[in-house]
Structure formats: structure tokens, C-alpha cells
Amino acid sequence: MADLPEMLAELQSVADSPKKMLAKYLAQGKKVVGCFPIYTPAELVHAAGMIPMGVWGGQVNPSVAGQYAPIFICSIMRSCLEFGMLGKYKGLSAVIMPILCDSFRGMSGAWRVGVKDIPLIALIQPQNREVDGAREFLAAEYGVVKEKLEEIAGHKISGDAIENSIAIYNSHNATLREFARAANRHLDVITPKIRHAVMKSAHFMEKAEHAAKVKDIVLKLAELPEHKWTGRKVVLTGITAEPGDLLDILAENKIAVVGDDLAQESRQFRTDIPAGQDPLDRLAGQWLSRSACSVVHEKTSARPDLVIKLAKENRADGVIICLMSFCDVEEYEYPLLAKTTAQAGLPSVCIDIDQSTENSGQARTKLQTFVEML
């Protein structure tokens, strides 16, 4: 087993350079399918023997995406389109896109026009999850995705293969949750940036491979004495907490991340695929179980309670609301989050997350002020 810094550096490298992972898997003769945020049935790609790879954009000031994507759409979608149009995703056999918001509605058309060499597999999850028929609908929708993936893979995807992938994904979820708990005992080693890298790297590696690496990290952490953190502790909520500079600012101000409700991070790992008889029905059941997420309709928003619970359980001093630029589903939830966390005695600060700029100057000022409040 490698030493801990080496293990962490490897996942940092994966998180920083997904392109290298794409090249690696392609060199191994594997097909790779891009998976757009936030929730796709990546298990089906995995079951087909292909590699599901997250498509989360990156820091870029778009130069060509503006042809199809107005400036006032979600920052991630614009970056993804930019990279797609510039050929950065070359090698992907297809992309799966869940139509979770208006930016995705538009992106489904923009992708087909702007990135003609990477076929789009679109799908939509049911939002009226209480109605009898929602689960059946989604299983059928996943069935269509499965057929399209079979065409790309060149073979059928068996029920057993999907069951096997489901087991790997559930196990990976448990491992990442275990890592999050272990990280809080070693906040000196697991800085905000490293915590982020371990979680983000999951999008770009085969899940069993990633789980094995994270398990080793957890074992190595257990060998270290528990660290008593004397700085401030926060919980992050939003879509992503990037770029890395932002997380460096936290570290510089002695702020540790002790929990997250980020779409790119813990929202990926907190809901397991339930038991059941039919694998597609089981995958549909996972969507029906999802909660406290801005792209999921619920009668009563569970998100503020979840964020408060996370903060209290992990003794956080405050909450950082990472508001993705032009992400309307998150923007609608901002007032409730700000109000509810304040009522619970948790100070919060709202940071704009924008992939189109590297400039974190405003975030730095806000966070410096915030830490003084805590």
C-alpha cells in the first residue's frame, strides 16, 4: 500500500485531470460514456462493461459556447458545451443527460447541434413521485437508456450484470460516507481541497477501483492519532464548491469542511439503491428515495433540515451556501436556506460559484468577513 500523501495526491490528480483518466480507459480499449450532472443511471453504463465518466465542466471562460447557450444559463452547462464544442470530450462514445432543469432542456438541443460527434442519450426523471406509476415510468425510461447503451456496447446488458453494478455502487456509497466521517477526525490532513478531490475523483474512475482506493485512505487515516481541530468548521451546500482556489481560501482562514450537501459530492453518495426484484425498478426506486436536493420536487423541502442536522452533528460553526451562477433551482431555495439556518443559530454566507472565471477575489473578502463572524 502506498503512503497516505501519495494516495491523496493520486486522487487529487484524477479530480484535476479527468482527461487523463479518459485517455487511460480508452487506451485500455474501454468505451467511455459521459454522465451529466446530477443523477444519471451510471450503473447501466457500468453493467455494460463501459466506464461512466462525470461531465462537470471546469473553469473556462467560454469562447464558442455562446453561439448556442445564452450567457444567463447555468455556468456548468456553458462550460460543458464549450468543452464539447472544442473537442475536449473527444473519445466519449455518448453522453447521458438527465433533464432536471430548464438549462438541461435547452442543453439537450444545444448539445445535438454543437457536439455532433458525441451522441446524446437524454432521459427525464418523474417529479411527481407520489403518483402510482412514477416508478414504473422511470423504469421504462431507464429501459430506453439501456437499449441505447446496448447499441453502443454492441451487446445486451444482463439483469445479473446490473445487479452486480448496483452492489458495487452501493458499496462505493458506503465507502464514501465512511470517508466523510473519517475525514472529520483528521481535519489537519483532509483539507477542504483534499476532501473535495477524494469525492470528486469518484466521477472519473471505475467505481470498484475508486472504492478500493478510498478504503485504503480510510485505513491509513485510522492509523493516525485523531486530530483536535482548533479552527472553524463549516458545512457546504450547493451544486459544487469550486474552483480549488476557493477551497484554499477556506484553508488559509483555518476553516475546515466537516460536512457537505453538494450535488457533486455527498448528494451522490447518500442515497443507496434499494433492494428489489427487478434491477431497473431498483434504480428507479433510488430516484424515488432521493430527498433534500434542489432538482427533486418535494412537498416540504427537507434540505434546510438536512443542512442544519449535518452542521449540528458535526459541530459546525456555520454554513457556506455555494450558489451556482444562474442555477435557478438553487436560487429559489436560497432564501429558505438562509432564513432557516439563521433561525437554527447557524451563521451562513452565500458565495457565487462561477465556472467562467478564475477570480475568487469576492469570495475571499466574503469568507474573511464570515470567519470573523463565527
Residues that bind other proteins in the complex, under the rule CB under 8 A: 67-70, 72-73, 97, 99-103, 105-110, 112-113, 122, 124, 126-128, 131-134, 136-137, 140-141, 144, 294, 297-301, 323, 326, 328-329, 331-336, 338-339
**Cβ atoms within 10 Å of 102's Cβ, excluding its own:** 12
Pick 245 or 352: Cβ nearer other proteins? 352
Pick 151 or 160: Cβ nearer other proteins? 151
**Cβ atoms within 10 Å of 226's Cβ, excluding its own:** 12
Q: Is 310 exposed, middle or buried (0-12, 13-18, 19+ CB in 10 A)?
A: buried
Taking the complex as a whole, the smallest distance from the CB of residue 368 to other proteins amounts, in Å, to 22
Pick 142 or 269: Cβ nearer other proteins? 142
Pick 206 or 333: Cβ nearer other proteins? 333
Residue 166, C-alpha cell as written in the block: 448496483
Pick 257 or 323: Cβ nearer other proteins? 323
DSSP 8-state secondary structure symbol assigned to residue 275: P
Distance CA 176, CA 239 (A): 18
Taking the complex as a whole, the smallest distance from the CB of residue 294 to other proteins amounts, in Å, to 8
Taking the complex as a whole, the smallest distance from the CB of residue 326 to other proteins amounts, in Å, to 6
Residues in CB range of 185: below 8 A, 6 or more apart = 221, 226, 227
Taking the complex as a whole, the smallest distance from the CB of residue 14 to other proteins amounts, in Å, to 31
Taking the complex as a whole, the smallest distance from the CB of residue 169 to other proteins amounts, in Å, to 24
Pick 98 or 279: Cβ nearer other proteins? 98
User: Which stretches within the chain are classed as H helix?
Assistant: 4-16, 18-27, 42-47, 75-85, 102-114, 134-153, 159-183, 192-200, 207-223, 244-252, 266-269, 279-289, 303-313, 328-343, 361-373
- Reported as half-sphere exposure (CB side, CA atoms, 13 A), residue 193 has a value of 15
Taking the complex as a whole, the smallest distance from the CB of residue 311 to other proteins amounts, in Å, to 20
Q: Please name which of 44, 269, 285, 34 lies closest in space to residue 164, comparing C-alpha atoms.
A: 44
Distance CA 188, CA 34 (A): 34
Distance CA 73, CA 87 (A): 21
Taking the complex as a whole, the smallest distance from the CB of residue 27 to other proteins amounts, in Å, to 33
Q: E strand or H helix at 228, and its extent?
A: none
Pick 68 or 169: Cβ nearer other proteins? 68
